[in-house]
Amino acid sequence: TASHSNCGRQPAPPFGRSLRTTMSSLAFSPLPLRVVLRSGRGASGAGIRASRTAFRPVRSPASGKTRRATLAPVRAAADTAPTDTKKAAVVEGETTSGASLMLKRAVVATAQFLIGLLPGRLGLTWLAGLLPSNVKSVFMNLVDMYTEQLEKATGDRRKAESVTYSVFRLMCKAYAEQLVIPYKFPPHHTAIRRPTDYYKMGQQYIGCMIDFNRSVLMYPERWAKIKADLDKGENVILLTNHQSEGDAAFIPLLTENSHPGLGEQVTYIAGDRVVSDKLCKPFSMGRNLLCVHSKKHIMDDPSTRSEKMRDNVRTLKEMEALLRKGGMLIWIAPSGGRDRRSPDGTLMPANFDPAAVEMMVRLGKKKGVKPTHLLPMAMSTYDIMPPPETTQKDLGEERIVNYTGAGLSVGEDIDVSENAPWAQGVDLGNRQASAQALCDYVYSQVCELYKPIASCNVPGGPVDPVPANGIRPKKPSIIPY
């Protein structure tokens, strides 16, 4: 749950001794490492002078021609840098000059070029040295676990290692960019696709862990109706449970072949942990987000509570403006967090917050807002990236991954009128009672949708028959095996 003022705000960690030690052995570096390090700290005069010297073309004694190959990553950064420097400063979350931003982009391009040359697991270990110690251990444990699960998927250890190192190198390139140019999320964030394609990175990372032979997409005709409603300029709000840190990837992955492009239209209501955790943040940059502070964490630091509440108001105003324009597909988890297993090991959607459901209903009814459909949705994704057993205040949680199936099921439009089934026998003059009744109805719909898809997500489970009204989604071409 994040905001305009502090949603994802973090100081830029300098390229320090860890990077110097880690990368100094790379004799094939196209630029002197000290120049890369100095440039990454900002556009100081010394940094610019050193950079100009390093970036100068070299004349070959043999041919007399200027050698330009080593300048490719720098030139690419300059070519893709935004020409509107004021806009660029907002995009990068920094108040910086255009020249400074272009220089930093050049540094990022050089670092990413080097990362692409690093060999296998040893290279990833070197790169992990850039991260804080607690994040480094989480990262390397994740590399090993990811490889093990991919071996289950492919049946080939060498192929599993190759795919893992390819996927994690993309992640490291994203982390390198965040070390030099840390991104601050605005209230409404749109997916960043260039020069780094954060969306593709997230799709590959999660997609490799999905067993499509066990996965289920329920009611494909309802997903087609969602697409048709969006094409008419109407809004769709999905009221769903939330099970995995990677939940933003599943609608695109499971609908890509049957409903192309639909998944890229989703805007997610995102909590501050999604946009501030160092390992998670780059994945969030590849999604459309509306950043808010959840009730679960708004009091983590009481001194910032008022500021966080103001941030939430700004995000709500932004959401209302988007709904007025129309064509919005919004994903929200009214529980305010991920589902957790009960003490006996069973897993069901967590209870919904009546205030969250009521808020979306009221937004959809506001004057000037385009016709808005509210739909219940269930996700069975828990074990692909299971959350910690309890809610944590500290960032940097341990990551666990499993290769298993995933399931999605969407319901029909919820009738929120006073004549609907949920309102029968309810004192509609009592706002709290009516909000609770509607919330209970929506939650019960989500639980019913969840039951047919729950088993497909159990690691090591059998390939169950496809439930009635469901299909087996095909594996998208973006998955590299």
Tell me what pLDDT residue 398 has: 78
- Whether the upstream peptide bond of residue 195 has omega within 30° of 0, thus cis, is yes
Q: Which comes out higher in pLDDT, residue 344 or 73?
A: 344
Model confidence at 325: pLDDT above 90: yes
Provide DSSP, 413-448: PP--STTSGGGTT--TT-HHHHHHHHHHHHHHHHHH
Rounded to whole angstroms, the Cα distance separating 12 from 10 reads: 6
Task: Extract the tokens encoding 314.
Answer: 């700004």
How many domains does the structure of the chain reveal?
2
Model confidence at 91: pLDDT above 70: no
Provide DSSP, 114-156: HHTT--HHHHHHHHHTTS-HHHHHHHHHHHHHHHHHHHHHHS-
Tell me what pLDDT residue 36 has: 42
Same domain membership, residue 137 and residue 214: no
Q: Which of 150, 181, 212 lies at the terminal end of a domain, its last residue?
A: 181
Same domain membership, residue 369 and residue 416: yes
Same domain membership, residue 256 and residue 141: no
Q: Which of 146, 181, 216 lies at the terminal end of a domain, its last residue?
A: 181
Residue 409: count of CB within 10 angstroms of its CB: 25
Tell me what pLDDT residue 205 has: 98
Tell me the CATH number at 234.
3.40.1130.10
Could you tell me what percent of the chain has a pLDDT over 90? 62
Task: Extract the tokens encoding 154.
Answer: 């492919």
Question: Which residue from 214, 436, 241 is spatially nearest to 349, judged by alpha carbons?
Answer: 241
For range 184-194, the mean pLDDT:
95
Rounded to whole angstroms, the Cα distance separating 329 from 323 reads: 9
Tell me what pLDDT residue 397 has: 60
Does some domain include residue 338? yes
Task: Extract the tokens encoding 70.
Answer: 């080593």
Chain mean pLDDT for the chain:
82
Same domain membership, residue 209 and residue 281: yes
Same domain membership, residue 438 and residue 290: yes
Tell me what pLDDT residue 455 has: 97
Same domain membership, residue 176 and residue 191: no
Quick: pLDDT tens for 127-178.
888 777 878 888 899 999 999 999 999 999 999 999 999 999 999 999 888 8
Quick: pLDDT tens for 413-454.
999 999 999 999 999 999 999 999 999 999 999 999 999 999
Q: Which of 139, 166, 181 lies at the terminal end of a domain, its last residue?
A: 181
Are 241 and 305 in contact by the 8 Å Cβ rule? The answer is: no
The secondary structure of residue 31, as a DSSP letter, is: S
Residue 411 belongs to what domain range? Answer: 184-471
Same domain membership, residue 319 and residue 307: yes
Same domain membership, residue 345 and residue 315: yes
Give the confidence band of 390 by pLDDT, cuts at 50, 70, 90. Answer: low
Rounded to whole angstroms, the Cα distance separating 472 from 172 reads: 33
Does some domain include residue 211? yes
Task: Extract the tokens encoding 305.
Answer: 């509570």
Q: Which comes out higher in pLDDT, residue 307 or 154?
A: 154
Residue 256: count of CB within 10 angstroms of its CB: 22
Tell me what pLDDT residue 20 has: 37
Q: Which comes out higher in pLDDT, residue 466 or 3?
A: 466
Rounded to whole angstroms, the Cα distance separating 32 from 44 reads: 17
Same domain membership, residue 228 and residue 148: no
Are 234 and 327 in contact by the 8 Å Cβ rule? The answer is: yes
Provide DSSP, 267-296: EEEE-HHHHHSTTTHHHHTTSEEEE---TT
Give the confidence band of 62 by pLDDT, cuts at 50, 70, 90. Answer: very low
Same domain membership, residue 462 and residue 375: yes
Same domain membership, residue 140 and residue 212: no
Give the confidence band of 96 by pLDDT, cuts at 50, 70, 90. Answer: low
Model confidence at 27: pLDDT above 60: no
Quick: pLDDT tens for 190-228.
999 998 899 999 999 999 999 999 999 999 999 999 999
Does some domain include residue 385? yes
- Strand stretches in 241-371, DSSP E: 266-270, 288-291, 329-332
Does some domain include residue 91? no
Rounded to whole angstroms, the Cα distance separating 128 from 372 reads: 45
Q: Which comes out higher in pLDDT, residue 329 or 134?
A: 329
Same domain membership, residue 405 and residue 293: yes
Tell me what pLDDT residue 392 has: 52
Residues written for the chain: 481
Quick: pLDDT tens for 346-385.
999 999 999 999 999 999 999 999 999 999 999 999 999 9
Task: Extract the tokens encoding 194.
Answer: 């260039």
